[in-house]
Structures are given as structure tokens and as C-alpha cells.
Structure 1
């Protein structure tokens, strides 16, 4: 509310609020009461809500976590967006869906969006569109794979979280998706001795040691001086697609050679800082 009022006082006209109910960098899920308060404030100020729900079908503990959609509370004021690569399709298949309110205003927004996408030439390729339509029907085979993939990433994310905490760093427990956000601020002195003073240098430092992309917090709008990075569970499973398919069917994916080796490398790199 303070931000909206400040922008208006400066002559701006804020019209949209973008929310992520299941967050990408942190792998966390917004508490329903917090989400309700944010949406209530936004609607009260006349803002339209864009709800990014890309990761809502990737809950690590679906019986313990409740992903509440703003569209369930204010269906006429919310457009739901989700990237199918979050749960249903391979990451290399670019396809996403937006669901607009069933109102005259929603129809107008949809028409303007289609016009912009058409002008940009942003069309889904035919084969990908057919596969996406199939996945959106959620047949048994797709649903089973989504459930297995969520359980797999949950297992690996829990191990990564343990490694981060054991090194003396901080991270919120991951609850969805394939990422978690590590704060290495408590290790600032040790990192400083290695020439690491900000998230850009931390990204390079860990990336070299892990041989994996480790994007720094500055890429997600965090301040450069904060020593935070996003850790991705996907690359820890091995190169796609054969090894990742093997991981889906393993009794304990942490015992697979490629996963165990990747986790050991990560653990060693973090332990080295202490």
C-alpha cells in the first residue's frame, strides 16, 4: 500500500500486481493468510492481479502445503499465468498459458494480449502445441510423472538444504519446485578471504567449483552486496534425458552415482568455506 501511494503521489499509475504463490528462487509457498492480505490490499486499490502459478503442481509435501490461488478469492480481478515447463512439459518446450477472468474486462485483456503476441510472432510451434494440449488434459501417465518428479526434486532439495545449513549458511526449507535460495551471509568473512564480496563474485566462485550455473541474488532483484545464490536441483540429477528418467524410478535417487557425486561436490565446496 505504501508503494502504490508513493508511486501515485509521484504521478504514476500502478495497475498490476504480479504474485508468485509458489516461488522460483526460494522454492517456498506463500501462506494463505499472507496471500489473502496482499490480494485484498491490491484489489482495494484497483490493481489487477497476475498470479504466476507455474510451480503450484510441484509441491514437495502436498498433504502439508496448501497453495491458494488469488483467483479462488477474487476471480474477476485475477489473471492466472503458468509456464508448462514447471510441471508438465520439458524445459526446452516453450509453452505457457494465461487464464483470464470470464468478464468483459477479462475478454478485453485477452484480446489485447493476443494482439501483442501476434505482433511479436510469439506462436507456439505445432508439435509443442499438440503435446501441451495433451499434457493439459492431465492423463494418468502425465499425472504420475508429475508426482514422481515432484517427489524426486523434494528428496534432492532436502539434501541440498541440509548441506547449506551444515556449512553454516541459511536457507528457507524448500516446499515446491526445483530451487532453493541460499544466504551465505554468515560466511562473509571466509568468502572475503577468497576474494568474494558480492553475489556476482559468489556466482562465479561457486559456479567454477560446482561446474554448474549458480545464479546470484542480483539476478532476482536482490541487492548486489547480499551473498545469496539460487541452487537448482535439476542439474544435480545428471544430463537429460536418460539419467533423469532413471532418477524418477529409483528407490532412493540419492544413491544413484551421478546424484551422489553431484551432492558430494556441492557439500565439499560449501564445507571448504568453513
Structure 2
């Protein structure tokens, strides 16, 4: 039937949809795509994608399970939960498969956990954009607590207790604290002592610790590990991980959570499964099969992760050097594939030359004038006047899988022509930032 014409008596709805902004990390990716459609030569340094090809063995396992169409258990298949338990046991966290819950990515798992726990959540400042955003989405309040100098991902234990006490004094119900080990956005690792002290505060203040350890296998220094709160406060710590970073399977969407053992953990599991049953029913069966293979850590995947770790270390180090040469203060990246430079030391020059006063203005300038896509620190919880930004160099590894595989195999990936050209362009852009803008002189593009 043809659509009926709108009647004059039809009234507009008396409400609007709830305003929810697009995640900053995804928004910058779309902004970079727009610049490319305009014909600009873009440096894509905003999106946190691992930038390496999927290993053929994972593709093989996914293909072998492509015909699996049944829903399966809400918590995940027995094979997947056993593989995840083994993965954590090899990292010093003995795990019963009954405490493992799988979901379609670690982001949905985090949202389901926050829903199950209820209450407000302490998040590090700075921290990954999703922690605060999801806390707000479930109707709670994110309470930002600064991280110790040089130790990203963990709220300062010295400030945590005071923040919780103050929040509760104004009627807030604070129940959890989120940590990231290693950290996104800074690429640093909190010390064992900081994690131990944070766990002591969590016990004193009756907080659940949600430990996002998705970058755990991408510590740059061989033999070094990131500390886990589950070793110091096992009765109250939830650990999450996924395939999206170490194995670059972000689009496959599969994550796992390790819940505490004991009465609280069992009650949390029941609640989490109830939430999951109403949101995703069960993670995709073919992906569960591939993830079980991955979490069992066959030698070819262990080697693949090790090569990617070395590549991330080499390129983040080279990028950090370019920012330091431009006058920024930069903590040396220790894990993952992020750099978090601070242009505070050249604030006066940026204001005089470009009228820049905030990180948002600085990153807007970088995108619009120079076609360099990065994210302002304010997206991660920094004060707007801060001049910090998150830089993700992992999409510089190559335009296609041939180049990316060459980068993985190279003992000196920063010297490969396509990566060296990107690094040189970044250096030129950063140098141009500090040069006075002369009338009639075209900006570097």
C-alpha cells in the first residue's frame, strides 16, 4: 500500500532520543576517512587497531567452525572456558573454567559487568574512553581519580580512598574501580607496589576491581609482565581480555572475563549471565571455536604475538622520539601501541603561533591543517586545558597485508620505506607546529 500522507493532526513526539555521542576513538576514524575522501594524504594515528594481519591459523579455525549455528551456553562453550582458564593459569592466575564468562567482545562484557554490579565506578584519569561512557550509560557516575606520575591505568591509591569517601558523603553508591594493565592511552605499566596498594584500598572501601588486561601480552620488554590485581585481591577482582589487540582480531568480537571464586563471584556470575542472556544470548559459536584455539596458545600464535610485540615497541619508540624532538614531554611507551605526548612545555609557542589553548584545539589543528588524526587527552578524562594527546601509530605498518607482514618480519621496521616516510612526515608536521605562521605562507599539508 502507498504510504499515507501526513495528517495535519499528527503531532510530533513529545521527547527526543537520549543523546549519546559516538565514541571518540571511532569518531576520529570516521573523520580520517572523510579526509581521505577529500583527497588528503592522511597520517592515521587516532584509532587503536593493532594493525597486523590475522594469522592464517586463526582464519583456518574460524572457517572450520563456520557451520556452527547453535546458540550454546550463555557463559560460553566448555572448550572456550577451559582454554581461557589455561591461559590465565599460565600467567600465575589459577582459574576454574566455571568462573569464566565469554561475550561478543570485552566492551559488551564490561557493560554487562557494570550493569550487574550497579553503583558508581572509579576510573583512572586519563583512561580509555569507554569506561566513563559506559558507566554513564548504565545510569551511574564515573568518578575520575588521577593516576600516579608515569604509571597510567591505575587510580592513585593515595587519592582513591579520599575520592570514594567524598563521593559516599554526598550520597553516591561507589562499588567498583576499573584499572588497565598495561594502559591505554599512555602505553605505560603501573608498578607492582601501586597495584598492591590499590588492592588494599579496594578491600578497605569494599570495592570490586575490574582489571582490563587486554594488552597484557604486548609488554615491550621481553620477560617483563604487567601486575594483576587478581594476585593481590582475588576475592574481588574481575579480569577481562580479548583477541582484538595481541592477535589483531578486533572485528571478530570475542572477549572473556575471569570472575572471582567464592560466594561473591558466584553471585556475580549469576547476575552477569542474566544480563548477558538478555543482551547477546551467547557469543558467536564459530568465534568461540577460534578463540578456544587461540587461548590454548599454539606455538605459531605465540610467535606471531611475539613478533607483533617487537613491532609495536619499535614504532611507538620511534614516534615518541619524534614528539620529544618537537619539545613535547613523553613517557617512554612500555606496552601496547600508544604514545601519550604532552605539549605543555611548548604551550606558549602554540598559543602565539596558532592560537591553541586546549588539547581539542591542538588536535583539530593537526587534523584540519596537517591531515594528522590523533585524539585529545580530554577525550580520556584530562582537563580541557591539558595539551596531551593519544597517538596510535599501529596503522602505519602498511597499506596492505604484504607490507604489514614485511613489517612484522623486519628487524628494523622503522627503516622500511613506507614507515620511514610516515615517520618523516610526522616529524615535519611537528616541526612546522613550532614555526611561526607567516602571512601568505602555505601550511604543510
Same fold (TM > 0.5) = yes
Structure 1 unmatched runs, 5+: none
| Structure 1 residues 122 and 246: alpha-carbon distance in aligned structure 2, compared to 1, 3 A threshold | farther
Pick from 265, 277, 298: which aligns with 1:139? Answer: 298
**1:8-42 deviation digits (Å, cap 9, x = unpaired):** 11112211111112101100000111111111111
Show the counterpart of 1:195.
Answer: 355
Pick from 422, 427, 439: which aligns with 1:267? Answer: 427
1:1-274 alignment runs, 5 A limit: 1-63=161-223, 65-121=224-280, 123-192=282-351, 193-208=353-368, 211-274=371-434
Task: Report which stretch shifted further, 91-100 or 20-29.
Answer: 91-100
Distance (Å, rounded) in 2 between the aligned partners of 1:208 and 1:135: 41
CA contact (8 A) 2:216 2:225 kept: no
CA contact (8 A) 1:237 1:244 kept: yes
Structure 2 unmatched runs, 5+: 1-160, 435-445
The size of the alignment, in residue pairs, is 273
| Structure 1 residues 264 and 208: alpha-carbon distance in aligned structure 2, compared to 1, 3 A threshold | farther
Q: TM-score by structure 1 length?
A: 0.94
Distance (Å, rounded) in 1 between the aligned partners of 2:278 and 2:233: 31
Distance (Å, rounded) in 2 between the aligned partners of 1:71 and 1:109: 16
| Structure 1 residues 200 and 91: alpha-carbon distance in aligned structure 2, compared to 1, 3 A threshold | same
RMSD: 1.6
Deviation for aligned residue 1:90: 1.9
Distance (Å, rounded) in 2 between the aligned partners of 1:257 and 1:234: 16
**1:41-87 deviation digits (Å, cap 9, x = unpaired):** 11121111111111111011033x34111111121111101232121
1:85 is paired with a residue of what secondary structure? coil
2:375 is paired with a residue of what secondary structure? coil
Deviation for aligned residue 1:236: 1.7
Task: Report which stretch shifted further, 205-214 or 131-140.
Answer: 205-214
Moved over 6 A (4+): none
| Structure 1 residues 240 and 132: alpha-carbon distance in aligned structure 2, compared to 1, 3 A threshold | farther
Larger relative contact order (CA 8 Å, sep ≥ 6): 2
